Amino acid sequence: MTLRYFYYSKLFNKVISNDKNISNIIYTLFKSTPQEWSTYLGGKTALVTGASSGIGFETARILASRGAKVILADKVNLDDTESLIVNTTQESLIVNTTHNDNVHAKYVDFESLDSVREFAKEIQQSENRLDILINNAGVGGMLHRYTKDLLQVEMQINHFGPFLLTHLLIELLRKSQPSKIIFVSSILAYLNNLTIENLNKISDFPILDFMVYSNSKLCNILTAQGFADRLRGQGVTCNALHPGKMRGEGTLLGLKKVIYFMLNMGAKTPIQGAQTVTHLALSEEFNKVSGKFFIECEPFIPPKKAQDLSFREAIWKASEYYVRLRPYEKLRITPVVRHPLNLLKK
């Protein structure tokens, strides 16, 4: 409890002004979230990005255990035998532990918009339905360069890539309604400095780069809200979530290594972090819930900038530009249809 309190305490000043009942905030952040589901997903298809490890892997395994066809979408260097073995092993591990052989690993590199388009085209051609899309792939704190698409690499992997992929798979999701889109964000979205000007700008602090990560996680929330607005009444819901403070992985040096060691204290395991993701994916109570931000399986107050519709739309339009979305791929906001009796009351 103490470690988790320390992690979240600096966020209270940003969220407390939005909720007068502090006890509700503390309860939501610190309660445990073991979940049980009876949902059967036979005949349904789920796609999980970043599924070769961590939360993505555990989420994919849970969905496979419920009978779904699961596509593990991740980056695998086909020239790297070790990477290929790891990816194949993860696919086999899910098959062996769930006794569901309808699990398939596929290649996608979110560092390349061309790769995202190629992957989406492959899915469109090979799949006749897509019931659950979980945008989980992400990186943080160690990349400081632009990609060949002239996008900041961390922002491209965490935001621009999933933003494009979701657009390209919309028709398949509509065809499979009721369907769900889930963006794995982070509570660090509250600690952002996002503007239109720095949406695609390398951080001024290359040693840390934490703010770019926070900004990209805010973009996940803004994007989920944007899709919710545009898919209203079409049988497709879209939400974002914070999975919990997760243990960092990867090779880190110097100051970053010390910082990540401190942050990892008291962190959740991947299976624990997958609880909120799978809860949203499996629970029928969320079939009509859209545009929300969840923490510990409960809806939570989003960051202040996510409550600003004009800011949300500005980021959305800029993102369309950066991923070079084609005119026919763009989505329009679906107007809210009010019941005639409600209009008479006004």
Q: Which residues are catalytic?
A: 213
DSSP state letter for 338: P
Cα gap 290→286, rounded to integer Å: 8
What 3-state class would DSSP assign to 299? strand
Cα gap 219→307, rounded to integer Å: 12
Cα gap 93→335, rounded to integer Å: 45
**Nearest residue to 238 (alpha-carbon basis) of 297, 180, 320, 322:** 180
Cα gap 151→226, rounded to integer Å: 21
Residue given tokens 């005949």 in the structure block:
43
**Nearest residue to 238 (alpha-carbon basis) of 192, 291, 285, 279:** 291
Which amino acid would we find at residue 232?
R
CA distances from 72 to 46, 172, 208, 310 (A): 9, 17, 30, 35
The residues that bridge with 183 in the sheet, in sequence order, are: 135, 240
What 3-state class would DSSP assign to 102? coil
